[in-house]
Chain A
């Protein structure tokens, strides 16, 4: 498939991004660059300086709500992308309401409890949707343990072992790897498996 053909397919798709921190902001940027037509983004947080070690924001955006800063940054990449920004702390009913019209939902929350909530919400209320999760990306190195696996419409990207803590902070390289894997998984859902693929993973 040529990039023009890819862009034509992606241009009609809408992706939901739940959380606009390290995973969500970087995943949204990757999806915007390849030509996804619309993004629905949700977060309640404000940008602080410590976010800049991994999140897709800039120093002069400190103090802004993440959803509005992200919308600004995505529009600088592609002024034609439609961004629906929700400044909201998501609960189950919001997830169902906001992401109902999306082709795929990307989970990009920080807290394990929120990750649990969205799995529950999507499986119970939106069972036809693919949900792409990011689990385990703290620290540095260990490229070889970052992976992707799936069960039906649930796809998990990450190392599934490195939890964020003071001694194991999230940093741009590993967070970016997992965010890009999530974006890559979204493409495989939307475009189908690459016919030129050499992978035996299905």
Chain B
């Protein structure tokens, strides 16, 4: 599957992939994460049920303190 993750092209060798699996695959283990797929916010309870498809544009945002 070919995805764009944080503006970078990624080829992930899987037939199907949900958000939880993508985070495991990419080793994103931060606790305060925001995920957007094609501009749409995906909330945590929807990570398992959100299936990614070829060409999806995924933003993984790690929120940290400071301002």
Interface residue ranges, A against B (CB under 8 Å): 19, 21-24, 107-113, 115-116, 119-120, 123-124, 134-138, 149, 151-154, 156, 160-164, 170, 175
Contacts and interface: CB of A to CB of B under 8 A. Distances in A.
The number of chain B residues touching the other chain, given as a range, is: 10 to 19
Contact of B66 (A123, A154, A163): A163
A110 B34 CA distance: 17
A170 B66 CA distance: 7
A112 B7 CA distance: 23
Given A151-B59, A152-B40, A160-B61, A116 B32 contact: yes
23 contacts: A19-B67, A23-B67, A108-B67, A109-B67, A110-B65, A110-B66, A115-B67, A116-B32, A123-B41, A124-B41, A134-B67, A135-B63, A149-B6, A149-B7, A149-B59, A153-B39, A156-B61, A160-B62, A161-B64, A162-B64, A163-B64, A170-B66, A175-B67
Interface of B: 6-7, 32, 34, 36, 38-41, 43, 57, 59, 61-67
B66 A119 contact: no
Contact of A137 (B6, B38, B67): B67
Contacts of A113: 32
Given A112-B32, A162-B66, A170-B66, A135 B39 contact: no
Contacts of A149: 6-7, 59
B7 A163 contact: no
Contacts of A152: 36, 38-40
A22 B61 contact: no
B34 A24 contact: no
A55 B41 CA distance: 31
Given A149-B7, A151-B57, A115 B63 contact: yes
A174 B36 CA distance: 27
Q: Report, nearest first, the 5 A-B pairs whose CB atoms are least far apart.
A: A152-B39, A164-B66, A163-B64, A151-B59, A123-B41
Contacts of A116: 32, 34, 63
